[in-house]
Amino acid sequence: MVEDTLLPDMRGLALGQAVPAHLPAAGQVVWRDKLSQLLESTGEGIFGIDMDGRCTFINRAGAEQLGWLPAEVLGHNMHELAHHSHAGGAHYPEHLCPIFNAFRKALPCRIDTELFWRKNGSAFAVEYSSYPIVEGGVVQGAVVTFVDISARRQAEDALRQAHAVLEQRVSERTQALSEALEQLRELTAYTHSVREDERTRIAREVHDELGSLLVALKMDVGWLDKRLGEQQQRSLDEAQSMRERMRSKCQNMGRLIEAAVDNVGRIITDLRPSILDHQGLWAALDWQAHEFVLSAELALDWQMDVAGAAPLPEQAAIGIFRIFQEMLSNVGRHAQASRVAITIQATPRDISIAVRDNGKGAEAAAFEAANAYGVMGMRERARHLGGTLDISSQIGHGALFNLRIPLSNQ
């Protein structure tokens, strides 16, 4: 706004008061001309009012902002002309107007929260200042400077809106992060639980199966040791009979050892299939699929096209194999299916594995539930490999698990 230090001189000119008496006539003309030029050159609106609130002068910029010609404004009550209503259209009483209070109560003000009204009835946001004009200790009126701040208000509104949107996004992201952290905690707890369950299962199998086999072997060895010590005291016929019995014991011990070897191999395979190390991922997937349908007594539609695939790093191969195992495990536990279709394709760009069953299906929300740990585990493994796991299912129409892993990330 116009500097306040210039206002006393402009106020004098505005009210038609005399210029300084000590100036010669020519100086008085120059003084008036300079002030007039200053009033007309500024882009801010400036007007003066007398004690009745009537306009005594207004510069061209002020009149244009209000939509009037300067001559149309002079002599009119400025509150009734341009400051008569609030933003909602409610009447703005004159006695509450800060502009008028500047001379009626000698209260200078600077306001940026109100509106001025144009000739055509439209309003605009305005920042204005009102200062009393005092001559000889008596208030003669006020001078008002104002500027249209609609653009600034729009920018502030846009900034507030952008800030609100940003706050909303931050809130949403924070909520999503909190939910993800909670899921991670639950998944971690579930992983620990699964690990302990797996340890318990392995310990039980070692104890129940290998332990019983080893105890039986120990009893047979003890029996053989005892009978060998009695050989010298037996007759020929008894010795022959004992040899047959000992031979039978040895054969039984051989069967027990074979069973123990088979159990050890099965436990090791459950922990980590050796085929994955010796023949690679594709052979392991083939073996796992056919083993699964054999044990689950399901029909299998099998398609594999991996001719264009390059060998995978060990960790990527293990991750894909475990996801595939969990896909099949989900079919076995929940689907109640009679047939499963498996399609595996690999190109130099990516690997895709689709497992579709004809089981009972489920609602989509079931796969997003907080306790769907198997699905969460598969998705976390896929995300760790830079891939995605999409699941679609309808009740009565089975489910489709579709895994895609880009090879550029491996």
Q: How far apart are CA 164 and CA 154, in angstroms?
A: 15
Write the pLDDT tens digit of every residue in 145-157.
Answer: 999 999 999 999 9
Written as one string, the DSSP assignment of 149-218 is -HHHHHHHHHHHHHHHHHHHHHHHHHHHHHHHHHHHHHHHHHHHHHHHHHHHHHHHHIIIIIIHHHHHHH
> Which pLDDT score is estimated for 31?
47
Instruction: Just give the CATH number of 4-148.
Output: 3.30.450.20
Lowest mean pLDDT among 134-138, 209-213, 382-386: 209-213
User: Is the model's pLDDT at 14 over the cut of 50?
Assistant: no
For position 4, what pLDDT does the model report? 40
The predicted structure's pLDDT at residue 189: 66
Residue-averaged pLDDT of the chain: 81
9: pLDDT confidence band, cut at 50, 70 and 90?
very low
CATH of 273-409, picked from 1.10.10.10, 3.60.40.10, 3.30.565.10, 3.40.50.1860, is 3.30.565.10
Give 20-70 pLDDT, tens digit per residue.
444 455 444 454 566 666 777 778 999 999 999 999 999 999 999 999 999
Sheet holding 339-346, edge to edge: 299-305, 339-346, 350-357, 399-406, 388-393
Distance CA 71, CA 254 (A): 123
Look at residue 11 in the predicted model and tell me its pLDDT: 41
pLDDT for position 248: 78
Residue that wins the pLDDT comparison between 199 and 61 = 61
Check pLDDT > 70 for residue 304: yes
User: Left (φ > 0), alpha (ψ -120 to 50) or beta: where does 238 sit?
Assistant: alpha
Q: How confident is the model at residue 206 (pLDDT cuts 50, 70, 90)?
A: low
Q: What is residue 34's predicted lDDT score, i.e. its pLDDT?
A: 65
Do 76 and 55 contact (CB within 8 A), yes or no? yes
Q: In whole angstroms, what is the distance from residue 223 CA to residue 244 CA?
A: 14
Lowest-confidence pick of 176-180, 190-194, 352-356, 399-403: 190-194
Say yes or no to pLDDT of 318 above 90: no
Please determine, for residue 90, whether its predicted confidence score (pLDDT) is greater than 70.
yes
Strand partners, 345: 305, 352
Q: 140 φ, ψ to 5°?
A: -105, -15
pLDDT at 8 over 50: no
Which has the minimum average pLDDT: 88-97, 99-108, 202-211, 345-354? 202-211
Instruction: Name the phi and psi angles at 353, rounded to 5.
Output: -130, 120
Give domain limits for the chain. Answer: 4-148, 156-268, 273-409
Which 3 state secondary structure label does DSSP give 293? Answer: helix
44-58, 148-162, 171-185, 342-356, range with the lowest pLDDT: 171-185
The pLDDT, as a whole number, for residue 120 is 94
Determine the average pLDDT of the residues in 359-367.
86
Give 410's contacts (C-beta < 8 A, 6+ positions apart).
312, 313, 316, 385, 386
pLDDT of residue 16: 36
In the predicted structure, residue 334 carries a pLDDT above the cut 70 = yes
- Asked if 393 and 362 count as a contact pair (C-beta separation under 8 A), the reply is yes
